[in-house]
A and B are shown apart, each in its own frame.
Chain A
């Protein structure tokens, strides 16, 4: 269990930023799901619940998802784009944990095992920070370390044609051994792979093949173009071996079949 010295109820974004900058061992508390598992010593735990970041707002582009929105909130939203989230988070432990885990903490922490992050990547989400402003999620995910900044919200497009997702996991409540998300928007595809076990990344070649309607080539591209690794859940060669199959299963589930 992490230890916490004091709790601070934040009243403004500025206050949060100021605390984060002045105290290296201060931390924002999201859903708190991983606090128990670590031994982190947190001097100031910042509660951002009163900053109005628990809403999903319709924007011109699509939706702005506040940092404190939970997986459960996403699951309960109607609409095509949220179908993708439903598929992505459906098997994340249980309904109780999904009512606690926040979008902000997941994206900010860039968890490699995360199913949500893979879907966010495929959607082409942008990440909104209090200081640094907005950046594409792939830029944030390719940075060397997480920002010492306050992630306020994640923006996603609203008009998508297809949101496919499939994860291979040992049991329905386990971490994904590998997950693949594929999103089609204006005829263009974005294909993301997570649980490699590294952070979710895009596969441009697979997206191009999909645009040409070549599902098998797209699937093969995942194995050929991406790098995989070994961890507790599976070995590198196995991940590489099944990546094409996971994409095919993802597309099948949303009725995309092809040659």
Chain B
């Protein structure tokens, strides 16, 4: 079947199987920044935005995304670079496999909450598993990133 999607702001018409998941479609289009981690919607590695909301692309049926706007890590390279500086400064990207999904969740957190607390960070990112970092350093990095952004906007 055919589906119309707006991927990273570009309208695309794609041929899909009716039971195709969004991650298959996106990786099929060469958007390899979207990773697959589990097969059960449990790890958050495949997080993308659909109409601005964070969702799991491994669980989303592409057919159900007709007409929707999809944003992947490829569509937010500038923000990823900015957040990345802070993650990398702490060394908490480690193997990096969960990082694109984590960045998508951080951006979603920012879009939902103006001035996120540590609790907000943990709550919004609890669905993004990381097996390398132990999370503590990621919290430090994200906190510092948000502070820096706040200072920037205060100026």
Contacts and interface: CB of A to CB of B under 8 A. Distances in A.
A–B proximity contact (CB within 8 A)? yes
Interface of A: 1-7, 9, 29, 31-33, 35-37, 42, 45, 47, 49, 72, 76, 90-91, 93-97, 99-100, 172-173
B124 interface: yes
Contacts of B17: 4
B61 interface: yes
Closest 6 CB pairs of A and B: A94-B127, A4-B19, A4-B18, A96-B54, A7-B63, A99-B53
B41 A3 contact: no
Nearest to B122: A172
Interface string B124-137: 11111000000000
Contacts, number: 86
B18 A6 contact: yes
Contacts of A35: 19, 59, 61
Interface string B59-96: 11101101000000000000000000000000000000
13 contacts: A2-B19, A36-B41, A45-B63, A47-B64, A49-B64, A94-B56, A95-B124, A95-B127, A96-B56, A96-B127, A100-B55, A100-B56, A173-B127
A31 B124 CA distance: 19
Contacts of B40: 36-37
A32 B55 contact: no
Nearest to B63: A7
Interface of B: 1, 17-19, 21, 39-42, 44, 47, 53-56, 58-61, 63-64, 66, 105, 108, 112, 123-128
Contacts of B126: 91, 94-95, 172-173
Nearest to B57: A96
B54 A29 contact: no
A94 B21 CA distance: 19
A32 B64 contact: yes
B18 A5 contact: yes
Contacts of A32: 59-61, 64
A6 B56 CA distance: 22
A32 to B, nearest CB: 5
A47 B3 CA distance: 13
A75 to B, nearest CB: 10
B105 A45 contact: no
A1 B53 contact: no
B59 A99 contact: no
| B21, B53, B124 interface centre (most CB from chain A within 10 Å) | B53
Contact of B54 (A49, A95, A173): A95
Nearest to B3: A7
A96 B39 contact: no
Contacts of A3: 19
A97 B61 CA distance: 13
